[in-house]
Amino acid sequence: MTKHKDDGSGPKRRAWGEPAEPTQYTLRLYVTGLTPKSVRAIENIKQLCEEHLKGRYTLEIVDVYQRPSLTAGEQIIAAPTLIKKLPLPLRRLVGDMSNTEKVLLGLDLRPKK
């Protein structure tokens, strides 16, 4: 019988019930130019993602004035609007993303009370 020493290079072990890989988030933020509210929303969501999703997210920022074709299928009625495409379920959050608890709840990063 041959024994192999675990040098850490093999597959990572995980505790029962833990996901094998951290969940990846796909987010799209729709803004209207560089208005103060749009700039705040961009800054707020970037900071929140770096604090809570570092290395596990993609964030696309779409200016509805410059890329109106991307808004057609998304039913954007207000801006800024953040859409969480993945993981499902899809969620929409409207505003400047300054209410951190509301955004974290909307992204399913906080349990509902």
Banded pLDDT at 8 (limits 50, 70, 90): very low
Predicted TM-score of the model (pTM): 0.78
5-9, 23-27, 109-113: least confidently modelled range = 5-9
**What's the CA gap between 20 and 3, in Å, rounded?**
25
Of 16-25, 34-43, 85-94, least confident by mean pLDDT is: 16-25
- Sheet strands side by side (includes 91-94): 57-63, 25-31, 81-86, 91-94
- What are the structural domains of the chain? 25-106 (3.40.30.10)
Residue 106 and residue 11: Cα distance in Å, rounded? 32
